Amino acid sequence: MAANISPMWNAFNAGELSSKLDGRTDQDKYFTGCKRLLNFLPTVQGPAFRRAGTRYRGTTKSNGRAWFSTFEQSATQSYVLEFGDLYLRWWVNRGQLLSAGVPYEIVTPWGTTDLITEDASFSLRSVQSQDIMWLVTTLGNKAPQKLSRFAATTWTLTPVPFTNGPFQDIDPDSAVTIDASASTGTGVTLTASASIFTAADVGTSFYLEMENPGLVVPWETAKTTVVNDLIRYQGNFYKATAVGTTGKTGVNPPVHTDGSASDGKDCVTWLYLHSGYAWVTVTAQAGTTATVDVVNYIPEQIVTGNTNRWAHALFNSADGWPTNVQFFRGRLVYSRGRTLAFSVPGNYDDFTKKDGPDITVDNGFVVTLAADRLDEIRWMVGNDRVLLVGSSVAELAIAEQTAQAVFSASNFADRPQTKYGARQVDPVVCEDAIMFVQRAGKKLREAKYNLDVDKYKAEDLTVLSPQVTDPGIVDMDFQQEPDTTLWCVLTDGKLGALTYNRERGVIAWTPHKIGGSTSTTDYGVVETVASISAPDTTRDDVWFVVRRRINGVDVRYVEYLEDPTLYKTSLPDAFYVDGGISYSGVPAQTITGLGHLEGQTVQVMVDGSTQADCVVSGGEIELVRPASKVQIGFAYRSQLQTMRPDGGVQTGSSQSFYRSVSEAWFLFEDTLGGQAGPAFDKLDYIPSMSPSQLIGVAKPVFSGWVQFEMPANQGTDGYVCFEQSQPFPATIQAITPRLQVSDA
pLDDT digits (tens, 9 = 90+) for 663-672: 899 999 999 9
Residues 677 and 610 in one domain: no
CA distance 497 to 547: 19
Neighbouring-strand partners of residue 127: 134
pLDDT band, very low/low/confident/very high, at 345 (cuts 50, 70, 90):
very high
Q: Tell me how many domains the chain contains.
A: 3
**CA triple 543-549-555, angle to 5 deg:** 50
Residues 725 and 601 in one domain: no
CA distance 620 to 607: 18
Residues 587 and 620 in one domain: yes
**Last residue of one domain, picked from the residues 312, 332, 355:** 312
From the CB of residue 651, how many other CB atoms can be counted at a distance below 10 Å? 7
DSSP 9: B
CA distance 195 to 313: 16
Q: What share of the chain is helix, strand, coil (3-state, %, to 5)?
A: 5, 50, 45
| Residue 736 is assigned to a structural domain of this protein | yes
pLDDT the model gives residue 495: 98
Q: Where are the beta strands (DSSP E) in 592-729?
A: 601-606, 609-610, 614-615, 621-634, 638-642, 658-671, 675-677, 684-685, 702-709, 721-724
From the CB of residue 624, how many other CB atoms can be counted at a distance below 10 Å? 13
Residues 295 and 195 in one domain: yes
pLDDT digits 0-9 by tens, 532-587: 999 999 999 999 999 999 999 999 999 999 999 999 989 999 999 999 999 999 99
First CA to last CA distance, the chain? 6
> Which residues have a Cβ under 8 Å from the Cβ of 520 and sit 6 or more positions away?
none
From the CB of residue 223, how many other CB atoms can be counted at a distance below 10 Å? 16
Q: What is the pTM of this model?
A: 0.92
CA dihedral 235, 238, 244, 249 (to 10 degrees): 20
Residues 699 and 731 in one domain: yes
| Residue 569 is assigned to a structural domain of this protein | no
Please report which residue ranges of 269-380 form alpha helices under DSSP H. 300-304
Name the least confident of 121-135, 453-467, 640-654.
Answer: 640-654
CA distance 13 to 503: 13
| Residue 619 is assigned to a structural domain of this protein | yes
Residues 609 and 721 in one domain: no
pLDDT the model gives residue 432: 87
Secondary element (H or E) of residue 467: helix 466-469
Pair 373, 393: CB distance under 8 Å? yes
Residues 182 and 308 in one domain: yes
Pair 567, 605: CB distance under 8 Å? no
The radius of gyration of the chain from alpha carbons, rounded to an integer in Å, stands at 33
From the CB of residue 372, how many other CB atoms can be counted at a distance below 10 Å? 9
| Residue 85 is assigned to a structural domain of this protein | no
Secondary element (H or E) of residue 466: helix 466-469
Mean pLDDT over each residue of the chain, to the nearest integer: 93
Name the least confident of 413-422, 620-629, 663-672, 734-743.
Answer: 734-743
The amino acid sitting at 314 is L
CA distance 313 to 246: 46
**Last residue of one domain, picked from the residues 263, 297, 312:** 312
Please report which residue ranges of 614-702 form alpha helices under DSSP H. none
CA distance 92 to 151: 13
Residues 188 and 306 in one domain: yes
DSSP 51: P
List own/partner pairs for 25-28 with CB under 8 A and 24 or more apart. Answer: 25/646, 25/653, 25/655
| Residue 687 is assigned to a structural domain of this protein | yes
pLDDT the model gives residue 695: 52
Residues 690 and 582 in one domain: no
Q: How distant, in Å, are the alpha carbons of 50, 488, 491 from that of 465? A: 19, 14, 17
Average pLDDT over residues 634-663: 77
pLDDT over 70 (residue 310):
yes
| Residue 727 is assigned to a structural domain of this protein | yes
Percentage of residues in the chain having pLDDT higher than 70 = 96
CA distance 329 to 427: 19
**Last residue of one domain, picked from the residues 291, 312, 333:** 312
**CA triple 168-111-115, angle to 5 deg:** 70
CA distance 168 to 692: 75
Residues 620 and 678 in one domain: no
Residue 414: alpha-carbon gap to chain centroid = 24
Name the least confident of 106-110, 410-414, 429-433.
Answer: 429-433
| Residue 94 is assigned to a structural domain of this protein | no
> Which residues have a Cβ under 8 Å from the Cβ of 669 and sit 6 or more positions away?
47, 49, 703, 731, 732, 733
CA distance 253 to 220: 8
Residue 226: alpha-carbon gap to chain centroid = 63
| Residue 187 is assigned to a structural domain of this protein | yes
pLDDT over 70 (residue 361):
yes
pLDDT the model gives residue 690: 46
Q: Where are the beta strands (DSSP E) in 193-255?
A: 205-209, 230-233, 236-243
Domain region containing 217: 178-312
Residues 286 and 191 in one domain: yes
CA distance 302 to 306: 4
pLDDT digits 0-9 by tens, 595-623: 999 999 999 999 999 999 999 999 999 99
Residues 182 and 255 in one domain: yes
pLDDT the model gives residue 370: 84
